[in-house]
C-alpha cells in the first residue's frame, strides 16, 4: 500500500466516516466536501502548477476512490461527484470560468454536477435533446436532464446540450451553468443508494457564450474525455466495495460455527471466497492498467477503461452477494455493512455507461483494426 492509499484509508475510516454518518441520505453533505478538501483528497485532483492546473492523474483517482469505498462509500461518492462534475470545466473552460469555479470546488465550498443524461437519452447519450439556441451573446437552453449528480443543489453544472440538429454527437456543446440562473429548476430523486441525485429543468435558461466549455458543437469530445478518465476509477470504487465485502465474509466465516465446525472449513464457502479473491485481484490489476495507460496516453485508452469498469463492477456485485450469503439473514438487517453495500453496488453497473455499453466499446476496438 502506497502513501496515498494509506492516508486515504486512514481518514476514510476515521473523520470522514464520522461526518458521513451525520449527513442526510440523498442530500449533499457539505461538511463532508469540506473535510475531503481539508484532508488533501480533493486537492490531489485539483493541483495548481505554474501555468494553471496540472492534469489530473487517473491513477491517483483510482487509489483514492478504492480507499474511500473500502471504508466510507458516502465519502467516495462525494469525492467522485466533485471530480466528475468539475473535470469538463477544468478540461475545457476559459481561464475566467476555471478561476471562478475550480478553487471553490477544490476547497469543498461549491458542489458541482455533471449533466449529460436525459429521460430519453441514457445509454444513447448522443441522442440528447436539451436544446441550446444561439441568441445574441447568449445561448438559451430548454429541456430536461435526469439522474444528475448533486442536483438540484449544486452551485454549478457541466451541462451538455444540442446546438446542431441532425448530426448526432457532432452537434453537442458543453456549458458551465450557474444554479442561480433564472429558469433553472429541479428536484431530488430518491434511489436505493443514498446518493445526491436529481432532475434539472431548463426553461429559457440564458447562458452567456463565454460559458461554453471548449468549442461549439465540440461538447461530445469533452464528455467522452471526462468519462474515459473516470471509468477506471468507477472500477476502483467497485474494487473498494468488493474488498470490504470480502474482508467481512472472511472474518465471519472464520468465527461462525455450524454443525460443530467453522464455516471456513466448508469448501462450499471457502472455495467461493477464493474465487472472489482471485477475481478481485484481477479487477484491481485491470483498473490500475487502464489508469496507467490513460496517464501515459490519454484519448486512446477507451477500451481499457471499459474493460476495467466492466470487470470490476460485475466482480463487486458477485463479491457483495456472496458475502451476504455467507453471513445469512443478519446481513439483510437495515444498517448492516453488507445491506449498505448491496444497495450501493448495483448502480456502478449502470452509470457512466452500463455494462452492455462497455462491452460494445470493447467489441468495436477488437474489430476496428480489420475495418469491420
C-alpha cell of residue 356: 452492455
Q: Crossing angle, helix 58-71 and helix 219-255, to 10 degrees?
A: 40
Torsion of CA 40, 43, 44, 50, to 10 degrees: -130
Q: Which of 3, 352, 356, 360 is catalytic?
A: 352
Instruction: Report in angstroms the alpha-carbon separations of 326 from 246, 272, 314.
Output: 10, 10, 19
352: annotated active-site residue = yes
SS3 138: strand
Distance CA 120, CA 163 (A): 17
Q: How many CB atoms lie within 10 A of CB 67?
A: 27
How far apart are alpha carbons 339 and 285 in whole angstroms? 27
Start-to-end Cα distance in the chain? 43
Cβ–Cβ < 8 Å for 148, 161: no
- Residue pair 92/214 in contact (Cβ under 8 Å)? The answer is yes
Q: State the sign of the Cα–Cα–Cα–Cα dihedral 126, 129, 134, 137.
A: negative
In angstroms, the CA 64 to CA 76 distance is 8
How much of the chain is helix, strand and coil, in % rounded to 5? 60, 15, 25
Task: Provide φ and ψ at 301, rounded to 5°.
Answer: -125, 25
In this structure, what C-alpha cell is assigned to residue 151? 442536483
Q: Where are the alpha helices (DSSP H) in 13-57?
A: 17-21, 30-38, 41-45
Backbone angles phi, psi at 110, to 5 degrees: -140, 135
> Active-site residues: which are they?
352
Amino acid at each position: 500500500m502506497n502513501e496515498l492509499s494509506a492516508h486515504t484509508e486512514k481518514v476514510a475510516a476515521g473523520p470522514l466516516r464520522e461526518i458521513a454518518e451525520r449527513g442526510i441520505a440523498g442530500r449533499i453533505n457539505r461538511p463532508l466536501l469540506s473535510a475531503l478538501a481539508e484532508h488533501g483528497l480533493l486537492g490531489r485532483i485539483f493541483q495548481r502548477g505554474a501555468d494553471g492546473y496540472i492534469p489530473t492523474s487517473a491513477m491517483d483517482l483510482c487509489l483514492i476512490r478504492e480507499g474511500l469505498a473500502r471504508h466510507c462509500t458516502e465519502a467516495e461518492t462525494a469525492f467522485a461527484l466533485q471530480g466528475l462534475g468539475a473535470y469538463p470545466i477544468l478540461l475545457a473552460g476559459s481561464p475566467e470560468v476555471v478561476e471562478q469555479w475550480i478553487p471553490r470546488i477544490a476547497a469543498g465550498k461549491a458542489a458541482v454536477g455533471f449533466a449529460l443524461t436525459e429521460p430519453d437519452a441514457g445509454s444513447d447519450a448522443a441522442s440528447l435533446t436539451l436544446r441550446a439556441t444561439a441568441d445574441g451573446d447568449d445561448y438559451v437552453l430548454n429541456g430536461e436532464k435526469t439522474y444528475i449528480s448533486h442536483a438540484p443543489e449544486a452551485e454549478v453544472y457541466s451541462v451538455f446540450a444540442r446546438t446542431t440538429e441532425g448530426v448526432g454527437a457532432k452537434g453537442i456543446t458543453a456549458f458551465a451553468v450557474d444554479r442561480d440562473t433564472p429558469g433553472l429548476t429541479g428536484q431530488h430523486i430518491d434511489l436505493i443508494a443514498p446518493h445526491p441525485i436529481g432532475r434539472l429543468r431548463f426553461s429559457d435558461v440564458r447562458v452567456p457564450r463565454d460559458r461554453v466549455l471548449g468549442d461549439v458543437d465540440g461538447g461530445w469530445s469533452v464528455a467522452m474525455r471526462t468519462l474515459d478518465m473516470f471509468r477506471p476509477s468507477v472500477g476502483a470504487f467497485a474494487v473498494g466495495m468488493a474488498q470490504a465485502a470480502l474482508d467481512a465474509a472472511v472474518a465471519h466465516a472464520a468465527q461462525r460455527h455450524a454443525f460443530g465446525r467453522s464455516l471456513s472449513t466448508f469448501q462450499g464457502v471457502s472455495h467461493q471466497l477464493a474465487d472472489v479473491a482471485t477475481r478481485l485481484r484481477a479487477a484491481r490489476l485491470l483498473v490500475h492498467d487502464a489508469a496507467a495507460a490513460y496517464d501515459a496516453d490519454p484519448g486512446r485508452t477507451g477500451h481499457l477503461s471499459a474493460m476495467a469498469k466492466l470487470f470490476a463492477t460485475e466482480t463487486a456485485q458477485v463479491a457483495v452477494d456472496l458475502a451476504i450469503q455467507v453471513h445469512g439473514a443478519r446481513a439483510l438487517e437495515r444498517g448492516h455493512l453488507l445491506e449498505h453495500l448491496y444497495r450501493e453496488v448495483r448502480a456502478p453497473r449502470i452509470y457512466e455507461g452500463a455494462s452492455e455499453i462497455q462491452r460494445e466499446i470493447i467489441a468495436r476496438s477488437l474489430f476496428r483494426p480489420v475495418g469491420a
